[in-house]
A and B are shown apart, each in its own frame.
Chain A
Amino acid sequence: MSETDPIVVHELFKSFGQQKVLDGIDLCVAKSETVVILGRSGTGKSVLLKLLVGLQKPDSGSIRIHGQEISGLEMEQLNEIRKKIGFLFQDAALYDSLNVRDNVAFPLNRHTNLSEADQDKRVRELLASVGMEKDLEKMPSEISGGMQRRVGLARALALDPDILLFDEPTAGLDPITSGEIGKLILKLKQERKLTAIVVTHDIQGSKAYSDRLVVVNEGHIVMEGTLEDLQNSKDPFVVQFLSGVV
């Protein structure tokens, strides 16, 4: 781990009112590494992802993306960094008023000078890469939760980012669909060599694509390592989290 890693988080604090959510988090993610963040619901995992793209502001601490400190940046400068980051939201967050094609084309429309034909080709390629090329004209309400995540992933990849953030990509999905999403993440990791952070509760599913797992509890990182490291841990929270026993 070094200061030149694509994602470097140092001494990050974030509270909402009296509730301390992140209490001095330190995290580095190396180039092409996939880090999985585990922890109980409400422990600030999603907040951490939102801080990384500037959707929320930290109380204190440092976030460096590709070596650039993002706290305190103007909107225009932050947007330049955001173009290099793809974000898959928990429920995909597809735009209700746009069909599948226009959802994926949304970032392309605004940040590229592609002709209409080239843009259409790019949208089809992106949707084909997530197995959704046949549903171009459907509205988000007409497709299932798993399909929405796929479209959301295609949209996140539209600007060819080098960092990808996943906020509970398999939450609320059946095991088969969860497995399919897991395979997509693995495929992206192998083909595009992306740097990725995946927030998930699906420990078994994440085994296929994770390089490192990070366990967060009460705003701190309590342990990091491989799944085997976690399974051999004596930390009471890690033991309890893996076994699911209260």
Chain B
Amino acid sequence: MQASHYAIDFFEWFGDLGQFFGRVTRGAFSRPFEGRELIRQMDAIGALSFPLVAVAGAATGVVLAMQTRDSLSRFGAKSMLPSVIVFTLLKEMGPIITALVASGRVGAGIGAELGSMKVTEQIDAIEVSAVNPYNFLAATRVIACIAMLPLLTLVADFCGILAGWVASTLVQPISLHLFIISGLKDANFHDFLLPTFKTMVFGLIIGVISCFQGMRTTGGTAGVGRSATSSVVLSSLLIILADVLLVRIILLISPS
């Protein structure tokens, strides 16, 4: 009995999510275009996540440098260190670390903000003012997430490579120029472009899930807390699952 109840809830959630996504998509393509709100959201999502993503990217670069040096030394392939760091960061670690950090910071923020607006009737007030909340609140946040994730990924990539070089050069000095040249010598443009642009899908997931969870909040302040938590948990989980699929698609499009 309990299992069937959970199954119904699960399918209902997906049905509601599908309807929500349809409304947001219609909202995004209907007038008026909320340019001011979009810029405000891009600033909130992009600029304010910048330091966090930069630190996370740098830390990943340092850890990669330390771990890979040890592993490559065992196989006598220490000269491959710059390539391994650059490839790993560009192709996987940069995008996924950025997406997970953003889902934590941005997802929780959107879930809590919209949840709070829902329980204090601010979303109703927007609707009563004859303004479409799916356009004004949700579409702007979703578009801002889609636009900002690739840019934040560039930040993570850059900081990761720079910090990876610093960590490497402290153990065995190598110029930054040589590090980058040897790191990128076997790379082509697709190695960078496709993984960076796949973060647009991660941005879509973060935006849609957090807005959805926020705008369906019930149960007062406790409900706001639940929405913030579920926004982070669900978007992180879906990002990891989507990554499996996206990596496969990228390998099909651009086989090495």
User: Which chain B residue shows the least CB distance to A56?
Assistant: B124
Within 8 A of B (CB), among A86-112: 87, 89-91, 93-96, 106-107, 110-111
Q: Would you call B170 an interface residue if the criterion is a C-beta within 8 Å of the partner chain's C-beta atoms?
A: no
Q: Would you call B63 an interface residue if the criterion is a C-beta within 8 Å of the partner chain's C-beta atoms?
A: no
Measured between beta carbons, the chain B residues less than 8 angstroms from A246 are none
Q: Would you call B2 an interface residue if the criterion is a C-beta within 8 Å of the partner chain's C-beta atoms?
A: no
Measured between beta carbons, the chain A residues less than 8 angstroms from B32 are 110
Pull 6 A–B residue pairs with CB atoms less than 8 Å apart, ordered by A: A89-B124, A93-B121, A95-B122, A96-B117, A96-B122, A106-B129
B23 to chain A, nearest CB (A): 9
CB within 8 A of B121: which of A79, A82, A91?
Answer: A91
Q: Would you call A80 an interface residue if the criterion is a C-beta within 8 Å of the partner chain's C-beta atoms?
A: yes
Q: A53 to B130, alpha carbons, bound, how many Å?
A: 10
User: Which chain A residue shows the least CB distance to B122?
Assistant: A93
User: Which chain B residue shows the least CB distance to A89?
Assistant: B121
User: Knowing A96-B116, A96-B117, A110-B32 touch, does A80 contact B122 (C-beta < 8 A)?
Assistant: no
Measured between beta carbons, the chain A residues less than 8 angstroms from B238 are none
Measured between beta carbons, the chain B residues less than 8 angstroms from A87 are 125, 128
B110-149: CB near A (< 8 Å → 1, else 0) gives 0000001100111011111111100000000000000000
Q: A50 to B32, alpha carbons, bound, how many Å?
A: 25
Are A82 and B120 within 8 A (Cβ)? Answer: no
A68 to chain B, nearest CB (A): 15
Q: Would you call A85 an interface residue if the criterion is a C-beta within 8 Å of the partner chain's C-beta atoms?
A: yes
B1 to chain A, nearest CB (A): 18
Q: A90 to B119, alpha carbons, bound, how many Å?
A: 12
Q: A17 to B128, alpha carbons, bound, how many Å?
A: 25
CB within 8 A of A94: which of B122, B130, B131?
Answer: B122
Are A55 and B127 within 8 A (Cβ)? Answer: yes
Measured between beta carbons, the chain A residues less than 8 angstroms from B125 are 87, 89, 93-95, 155
Q: A155 to B130, alpha carbons, bound, how many Å?
A: 13
Q: A146 to B163, alpha carbons, bound, how many Å?
A: 55
Q: Would you call A117 an interface residue if the criterion is a C-beta within 8 Å of the partner chain's C-beta atoms?
A: no
B43 to chain A, nearest CB (A): 12
Measured between beta carbons, the chain B residues less than 8 angstroms from A75 are 132
A166 to chain B, nearest CB (A): 13
Q: Would you call A31 an interface residue if the criterion is a C-beta within 8 Å of the partner chain's C-beta atoms?
A: no
Are A107 and B124 within 8 A (Cβ)? Answer: no
CB within 8 A of A53: which of B116, B122, B128?
Answer: B128
Question: A87-B128, A95-B122, A96-B122 provided; 13 other pairs, C-beta below 8 A?
Answer: A55-B127, A75-B132, A79-B131, A82-B128, A87-B125, A90-B121, A93-B125, A94-B122, A95-B125, A107-B129, A107-B130, A110-B32, A110-B131
Q: Would you call A83 an interface residue if the criterion is a C-beta within 8 Å of the partner chain's C-beta atoms?
A: yes
Q: A155 to B128, alpha carbons, bound, how many Å?
A: 11
Q: A165 to B128, alpha carbons, bound, how many Å?
A: 11
Measured between beta carbons, the chain A residues less than 8 angstroms from B120 are 91, 93, 96
User: Which chain A residue shows the least CB distance to B27?
Assistant: A75
CB within 8 A of B130: which of A55, A82, A95?
Answer: A82
Measured between beta carbons, the chain A residues less than 8 angstroms from B121 are 89-91, 93
Which of B32, B125, B131 has the most chain A CB within a 10 Å cutoff? B125
